[in-house]
Amino acid sequence: MRYTARDLARCARRRQTSQQEFQHMVLTPDFDSRPVMSFQHVWKTYPTGTEALRDINLVVPEGDFLFLVGPSGAGKSTMVRLLIREEKPTKGKIFVDGVELGRMKRRKLPYYRRKIGLVFQDFKLLPNLTVYENVAFALRVLGEPDRLVQSRAAEALDTVGLAGKEQTYPANLSGGEQQRVAIARALVHAPRMIIADEPTGNLDPATAWEIMQLFLRINARGATVVMATHNREIVDLLRRRVVAIDAGQIARDDRSGRYHDDVSKPQIRAQ
Amino acid sequence: MMMFRNLRFALSSAWQSFWRNLAVSMAAVLSITLILILAGVNLLVGHALSQVLDGFREKVSVISINVADGTPLSAVYAYQQQLSTDPRVAAVRFITKEQALANFQADPNNAALVQQLDANPLDAKLEVKVKALADVAGIDAAARQWSGVDPTNPTNYQGDFVNRMLQLSQWLGLAGVGLLAILVVVSVVIVMNTIRTAVYHRRKEIEVMKLVGATEWFVRGPFVIEGVMTGLIAASIALSLLVIAYPPVVAQFKSDIAFIPLSYDPSFIASLARDLLLGGALLGAVGSYIGVRRYVKV
């Protein structure tokens, strides 16, 4: 059975389907529908003169699970920074959910960020807040009422398997657990897109795999996932969409790809 | 409702962070306290000076016109009438030769001189109270034209002195304002840097707030409230120190330099309190706003 993102999102919203069912679903992104994200001839040159991205064209349909791979300094992080509008493109346009990021007003930015969930390699948890407070923080910032904050935060912590650790401080958690907290925080406001920058970079292989399972489950519930990663085993195992960036350009875009295709071989790259 | 929740969040997180970063908070409180004490001293000195100047002004705005001996009383009354209808004049009082002598004798400083007097050398005089200090010169010029004035010693007007007093009071006022302006600039810079240090400690928190979609005012709110809190605490400390120190300093000053009529004015404390609390809150708010701006900007 094939599901499109829209079916799943609708189910998830109505809570008609249990979490267990989702786990077995493989979401097939609908490439014909309006894309959630698109890069159109995007160039990024930093003030120092570094050309980080050169003519990037990329379409991400709703419900897609996309790996951004490539050597360090290839431009993966620049793409992530452009997507969360920490940077603006020098040339070209980026559309997310129908909005052109380069022309978005500064005061609209917070409202845009609320539509996406962000996960980072260094977790970015607040050390002086408990696990629960860290997750609840993302909702408090939006001015949500206490009752909603409590139930949603508890639900998000349950999803990532951290129920019972609410009152623990991040320093007393393992790396994998800290990343789970960060994922719960990214999930708690039910974003339609998750952007993750090397989420498994600081984790051992077994823990990294557990974290990936979480992302897969989130994707199966209908959220679009864009993940920059160096984790070859995971990319090769999952056979999801792989976009390889090399020297600021898209070297490869496979619907079910591997980490290394031929892109890392010098003679191919030279062409 | 959402506004209320945001305000509550800002208040509670400002309160928490004030106590959590107590060392930095205390540094900010102390620097603002110091500045507010300086500003308060400036205000108090300015107030005392204006009190003293008002006393002087009161004195120099009265001019005595000496009446020549032998001038008929009817002419003096006529001139007194004429003066009191002048719009520049507040009041005119006639002092006879006898009254003038009595006043002179009443002053204990003149005791030695009084012993040697055999006749009454003093003139009768018209004491004219002028409404505006600047008009004294005009009244003086008119009085010198009057037929009944004593030609050897027409009036007690010392033009230069009055003008100098006027200028001095203007300069002192200007100097006070200038000093206050410098203090405000210096204090904003100090507060800004102190709060920037506090903000720097919390840049990670600000980064996370921005990443999860907090609006700029939501991020800024707690810091501005913390700044206001800091300013109010500093103002309370500065105010209590000044209120405690004010009466003994005035008393000391009075006993050392008796000829300057300085006095303790408790009614000024209310306006001083208002100025300091308002100033402290404003300083804290502006300092925080500027200090946090760099980190809030995307």
d(CA A225, CA A27): 11
A85 touches chain B (CB under 8 A): yes
State the smallest CA–CA distance between residue B33 and chain A in angstroms: 30
Inter-chain CB proximity A110 and B216 less than 8 Å: yes
Tell me, yes or no, whether A96 lies in a domain: yes
Note which residues in 118-177 of chain A have CB less than 8 A from chain B.
Answer: 118, 124-126, 128, 137-138, 140-145
Tell me, yes or no, whether A98 lies in a domain: yes
Contacts of B95 (CB under 8 A, 6+ apart): B64, B103, B124, B125, B126, B127
C-alpha pair distances (Å), A121 with each of A64, A182, A192, B259: 21, 10, 21, 76
Q: Phi then psi for A72, rounded to 5 degrees?
A: -60, 140
Give strand pairing partners of B148: none
pLDDT digits (tens, 9 = 90+) for B189-244: 877 887 777 778 778 888 888 888 888 888 888 888 888 998 999 999 999 999 89
User: For B202-266, where are the alpha helices, taking DSSP H only?
Assistant: 203-211, 216-256
H or E element at residue A252: strand A249-254
Inter-chain CB proximity B6 and A143 less than 8 Å: yes
State the smallest CA–CA distance between residue B20 and chain A in angstroms: 10
pTM of the model as a whole: 0.68
State the smallest CA–CA distance between residue A143 and chain B in angstroms: 6
pLDDT tens by residue, chain A, 271 residues: 445 555 555 555 554 444 444 444 566 676 777 789 999 999 999 999 899 999 999 999 998 999 999 988 888 999 999 999 989 999 999 999 889 998 998 889 999 999 899 999 999 998 888 999 999 999 988 888 889 999 999 999 998 999 899 999 999 999 999 999 999 999 998 898 999 999 998 888 889 998 999 999 999 988 999 999 988 888 998 889 999 999 999 999 988 888 876 545 444 443 3
Considering only CB atoms, which chain A residues are within 8 Å of B222?
none
Tell me, yes or no, whether A148 lies in a domain: no
d(CA A200, CA A121): 6
For chain B, the first-to-last Cα distance in angstroms comes to 28
pLDDT at A176 (0 to 100):
92
Give strand pairing partners of A119: A196
* Count: domains in chain A: 1
What are the structural domains of chain B?
2-57+164-296 (no CATH), 62-131 (3.30.70.3040)
Residue ranges making up the domain that contains A49: 5-115+191-269
Tell me, yes or no, whether A139 lies in a domain: no
Tell me, yes or no, whether A83 lies in a domain: yes
Considering only CB atoms, which chain B residues are within 8 Å of A86?
298
Find the CATH number of the domain harbouring A40.
3.40.50.300
